[in-house]
Homo-oligomer: A and B are copies of this chain.
Amino acid sequence: MLSIWLVLVSCIDFLLYSSAEEGLEFPSFDGKDRVLNVNERNYKKALKKYDMMCLLYHEPLPSDKELQQQFRMGEMGFLEQFSGLIRTDIFIFTESCDLCPLGLEEEGSIYVFKDERVIEFDGELSADTLVEFLLDLLEDPVELISNPMEQHAFERMDEDIRLIGYFKGEDSEHYKAFQVTAEKFQPYVKFFATFDKGVAKQLTLKINEIDFYEPFMDEPVTVPGKPNTEEEIVDFVNQHRRPTLRKLRAEDMFETWEDDMDGIHIVAFAEEEDPDGYEFLEILKEVARDNTKNPDLSIVWIDPDEFPLLTTYWEKTFKVDLFRPQIGVVNVTDADSVWLNMPNDEALPSAEELEDWIEDVLSGKVNTEDDDDDDDDNDIDDDSSDEDHYGDDDDD
C-alpha cells in the first residue's frame, strides 16, 4: 500500500517517424522505463530538485501481475510516454496517503508542483491537453496589453474568464498584488494588465482599477474598492467564477462537469464552425446575457468539434444527433437526459422560446425523471411547450 512510484525524465530521446522532409517530426515514446519505486524521502528530494513536477494520485496497484501491467499501459503509460516531450522535468506517481498533507485526494487526478504551488489538472488525459496545460503554466501569469491591436486581441477572447487591471507600471505595489493573484489562478483564469493610458481609456479603466470579464458578456464588472489586495481579488474571482454560460474545455473538463447545479447540467452542443451551430450559439449567448444575474443558471456549451473522441459516446448516451445543435438537461448521476425538440436545422428556437424552456428546467417542469417509466421521446413538447416544435419551417 505504501509504495510510491517515481518517474524520472532523465533525458529527452526521440524515436522519429520517418519522413523525406524535415521539420515536422512528432516525438514518440523512446521505450525507456522511467518509473521508479520511491519513498517519502526521495519524493522530498525531487521536490527540491525540479522546477516543475507532475504527480498522479491513483488507487493502490492490484496485486495481480496482469492488472498491474494493464495499469502501466493505461494512465501511467500515458504519462510515461509523453513525459519526454516537454520542458518539465519529473513525474511522481503515488498510491498512498503519505502526501495527504498536501491536500491531494482525488484519485486519478494529476497534480502539478510549480514553485510553491500545487495545481490540480482535472482535464482530458491526453498528451496534447496535458502538455498544453504545462506549457501554459510556463507563460507569464499576467499578459501586458500595450496598444490598440493587442487590446483587440484581448477583446476577442470572450470564451475565457479574464481580468484586466490598469496600473502605473511594473513597480506598482498594486500591480504586484495583481501578479501574485494571477499565479494562483494560472492557467484557468486569464490575467491582463495595461500601463498604457490610451488602452485604459478605451477600456474605461481608472488607475489601479480591475475589471472582471465573464465569458460571453459584453460588459465587465469592476472589482470594488480599488486599489485591491490579493485577498480581495481572490475572493472576487472565487465568487464570480461560475459563469452563466461556459465552454467545456479539455484542460478542465472534469472540474467543470463536477461543478453541477444540484445534480444536473444544462448542456448545449453546437459546432461554432458550422453555420447552424454558430446561429444557435448566438441565440444562446443572448439568453445568457439576459439572465446573467440569475445565480441558478449555468449552461455548459460543448463544441463537439473539440471532442471528437467523445462524440459517438455522447450520441449513444444522450440519444441525440450531434451533427445538429442540441440543448438538454443531463443528470450527472446517471447521465439520464431530456433534450429540447428541434425537428430540423431550420427550426432553431428563438431567444424567447429558449428562455421559456430554461425557466421550465429551473422550475423542475422539464426534468430527467418524469419520463423514466415510458418510452415517450417528446418529453419537452408534452411537458412544457404549447407548440409542436419551436421555430418555423416555412420561412423560405
Contacts and interface: CB of A to CB of B under 8 A. Distances in A.
B278 A150 contact: yes
Given A85-B312, A128-B128, A309-B85, A254 B346 contact: no
Interface of A: 12, 14, 17-28, 31, 70, 74, 82, 85-87, 107-108, 124-128, 131-132, 135, 138-139, 143-147, 149-150, 152-154, 156-157, 192, 253-254, 257-258, 260, 265, 272-279, 282, 305, 308-313, 317, 323, 330-335, 346
Nearest to A131: B308
26 contacts: A14-B313, A21-B332, A22-B332, A22-B333, A23-B317, A23-B332, A24-B253, A26-B124, A26-B309, A26-B310, A27-B310, A31-B70, A127-B308, A127-B309, A128-B128, A132-B305, A145-B275, A147-B279, A149-B282, A150-B278, A152-B278, A153-B273, A153-B277, A154-B275, A156-B278, A157-B273
B22 A335 contact: yes
Contact of A279 (B87, B150, B275): B150
A275 B143 contact: yes
B313 A25 contact: yes
Contact of A309 (B131, B282, B309): B131
Contact of A21 (B128, B258, B279): B258
A135 B315 CA distance: 13
